[in-house]
Amino acid sequence: MKELERLLAIMKSLRDPVHGCPWDKAQTIASIKAHTLEEAYEVVDAIERDDSDGLRDELGDLLFHIIFYSEMADEAQYFNFQDVVSQLNQKLERRHPHVFAGRKADNIEHVEVLFEQIKQQEREHATSQGDQSEKGLLDDIGKHQPAIQRAAKLQKRAASVGFDWSDSRDILHKIDEELSELRVALLDPDNVDNIAEELGDLIFCCINLGRHFKIDSELSLRQTNDKFVARFQYIEAMLGKQDKTLNDATLEEMDLLWDEAKQHSG
C-alpha cells in the first residue's frame, strides 16, 4: 500500500500546475487514449514472448495510465482512484456470487451463464436509474474497440437470449453462402463498397465459427500473422544465401520458398 500511495503522490506531482511536468500537465482524458491502447498491446506482446520481466514493466505502464485517468477525473471532480477501486471491488463481489454469496457454480459453463445473467440485471438496473429510455441489448458494447473483438462480443450477447446457431455446421453453410455472395460481388470490381460489405459479412461469420469453438479470433489471427512473418523471413533468408533480394526474385521463386518454409514449420 505504501508503494501505491507513493505512486498516487507522484502522479499528483506530475500534474502540479506550477512544478509539474509540462507534458503530463498538458494531457487530457482524450489525449492519452491512443497511448493506453499501445500500452495494452505491449502487455499482450510481453505475454506472448513469455517475458516475465517485460510483463512486470508493461503492467506498471498500464497501471500508470489508470492512475493518470483517475487523477484527471479527480481534478474535474468526476471521480478519483479510490472510487475506481471501490467500484471494482463491488463489481467483482457482485459478479462472483458463487464465491462471495453462496451461489453454486460447478464448472466454467455454469459461471458463464451466471455471469451473463448478472450483467443483464446490471443493464436493466442502469436503465431504471437513468433516463428511463429503452436500451437495446447491444447498445453498451463499445464501438471503438478492435472490430474482431467487438464482433465476438456482439455475437455472444445475442447468443445470451437464444439468437445463435445451434450447430457449428450451420455456420459453415453460412460461410459458404457468404463466400458465394463475395464471388458475385467480385464480378463487378468497380463496386468496391459492395465487395467490402460482402467481405465483412464473411469475416463476421468466421469469427462466429471461432466463438462456437471457444477460439479467440483475435489471438488466432495474431498467430497467423506471426506464422506469415516467419515464413516470409525464411524466403528472405534463402534468397540472401543466393545473393538475391526480394526485388530480384520472381513470384515463382518466392512461391517455391514459401512451400519450403511451410514444410519446415509443419
Q: Where are the domains of the chain?
A: 2-94, 136-215, 219-265
User: Which one-letter DSSP state was computed for residue 204?
Assistant: H
**155-177: per-residue pLDDT in tens?**
999 998 899 999 999 999 999 99
3-class state of residue 186 by DSSP: coil
**21-77: per-residue pLDDT in tens?**
999 999 999 999 989 989 999 999 999 899 999 999 999 999 999 999 999 999 999
What pTM was estimated for this model as a whole?
A: 0.68
**178-231: per-residue pLDDT in tens?**
999 999 999 999 999 999 999 999 999 999 999 999 999 998 999 999 999 999
Closest by CA position to 253, among listed 134, 171, 261: 261
Look at the block and give the residue holding cell 474497440.
145
Which of 7-11, 57-61, 144-148, 234-238 has the weakest average pLDDT? 144-148
Statement: residue 90 has pLDDT above 80: yes
Fold held by 2-94: Helix Hairpins (1.10.287)
3-class state of residue 49 by DSSP: coil
**107-137: per-residue pLDDT in tens?**
888 888 888 888 888 877 776 666 555 678 8
| Residues 78/28, Cβ–Cβ less than 8 Å | no
Going by pLDDT thresholds of 50, 70 and 90, the confidence category of residue 266 is low
Q: Which three cell numbers stand for residue 229?
A: 512473418
Statement: residue 94 has pLDDT above 60: yes
3-class state of residue 113 by DSSP: helix
Fold held by 136-215: Helix Hairpins (1.10.287)
pLDDT of residue 129: 66
The burial of 96, by beta-carbon neighbours within 10 Å (0-12 exposed, 13-18 middle, 19 or more buried), is given as: middle
Closest by CA position to 153, among listed 139, 172, 167, 132: 139
Look at the block and give the residue holding cell 503530463.
24
User: Which of 114 and 250 is assigned the larger pLDDT?
Assistant: 250
Going by pLDDT thresholds of 50, 70 and 90, the confidence category of residue 145 is confident
- Write out the chain in H/E/C secondary structure: CHHHHHHHHHHHHHCCCCCCCHHHHHCCCCCCHHHHHHHHHHHHHHHHCCCHHHHHHHHHHHHHHHHHHHHHHHHCCCCCHHHHHHHHHHHHHHCCHHHHCCCCCCCHHHHHHHHHHHHHHHHHHHHHHCCCCCCCCCCCCCCCCCHHHHHHHHHHHHHCCCCCCCCHHHHHHHHHHHHHHHHHHCCCCCCHHHHHHHHHHHHHHHHHHHHHCCCCHHHHHHHHHHHHHHHHHHHHHHHHHCCCCCCCCCHHHHHHHHHHHHHHHC
